[in-house]
């Protein structure tokens, strides 16, 4: 096998591996790189139909990546809906994702006492679940009991629509949000939270 053939095999392997990615941005990024490698390889061996195919795939991936990045902060793309904690659909979402939820929120135990629940949606697809409990000592402080984002959207940071843009938390009288201790792979620094010990804190705007 020549080094150029190895390049072709590497591009094919990367293309296949990209399809195994469950995060949208990663899938598109790796698929784009694999397509571009195969464009170079197939042009080198003069297999022009495959050059055309992979150029088309690369173009599609560029457009999809652009759309994902452009709409990641678009309030028209994501909606935040408050749901009752005894809602059957919420129970279904938690049940379907329970094993994954436990990886990132190991201390979470569901009960509906004094909890508020919010779903972040992209159309009719659930993007994330947020569950809060008012601090018994200070009702203006919301303690995060669960903050879960589905695997497809973890590169998009949809949490900003709940914490900063939806107005839902301020409407409940919350002025501060505190995350639980021990959360795995927290992303809150990207949303403007300040780290305090093993927790993160966000002061909400008063208006």
Structure confidence at residue 207 (pLDDT)? 57
Q: Which long-range contacts (CB under 8 A, 24 or more apart) does 24-33 make?
A: 24/68, 24/152, 24/153, 24/155, 24/156, 25/65, 25/68, 25/69, 25/155, 25/156, 26/155, 28/61, 28/64, 28/65, 28/68, 29/61, 29/65, 31/57, 31/61, 32/58, 32/61, 32/62, 32/65
Structure confidence at residue 94 (pLDDT)? 93
What are the backbone dihedrals phi and psi of residue 141, each rounded to the nearest 5 degrees, phi first? -105, 125
The pLDDT profile of the chain, 207 residues, written as one tens digit per residue, is: 788 889 889 999 999 998 888 778 888 999 999 999 999 999 999 999 999 999 999 999 999 888 877 776 666 678 888 999 889 999 999 999 999 988 888 878 877 677 899 998 888 889 889 999 998 889 899 999 888 888 888 776 666 777 766 578 888 889 999 888 777 767 787 777 888 888 888 888 765
Inter-residue contact 27 to 68 (CB < 8 Å): no
Inter-residue contact 140 to 176 (CB < 8 Å): yes
Which pTM value belongs to this model? Answer: 0.72
């Amino acid at each position: 096998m020549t080094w150029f053939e190895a390049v072709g095999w590497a591009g094919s392997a990367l293309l296949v591996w990209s399809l195994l990615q469950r995060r949208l941005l990663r899938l598109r990024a790796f698929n784009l790189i694999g397509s571009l490698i195969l464009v170079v390889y197939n042009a080198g061996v003069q297999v022009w139909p495959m050059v055309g195919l992979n150029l088309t795939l690369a173009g599609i991936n560029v457009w999809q990546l652009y759309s994902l990045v452009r709409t990641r902060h678009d309030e028209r793309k994501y909606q935040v809906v408050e749901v009752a904690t005894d809602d059957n659909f919420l129970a279904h979402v938690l049940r379907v994702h329970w094993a994954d939820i436990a990886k990132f929120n190991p201390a979470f135990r569901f009960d509906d006492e004094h909890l508020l629940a919010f779903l972040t949606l992209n159309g009719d697809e659930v993007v994330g679940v947020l569950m809060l409990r008012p601090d018994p000592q200070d009702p203006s402080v919301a303690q995060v009991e669960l903050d879960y984002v589905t695997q497809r959207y973890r590169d998009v940071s949809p949490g900003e629509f709940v914490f900063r843009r939806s107005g839902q938390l301020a409407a409940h009288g919350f002025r501060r949000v505190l995350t639980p201790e021990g959360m795995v792979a927290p992303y809150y620094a990207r949303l403007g939270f300040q780290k305090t010990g093993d927790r993160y804190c966000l002061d909400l705007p008063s208006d």
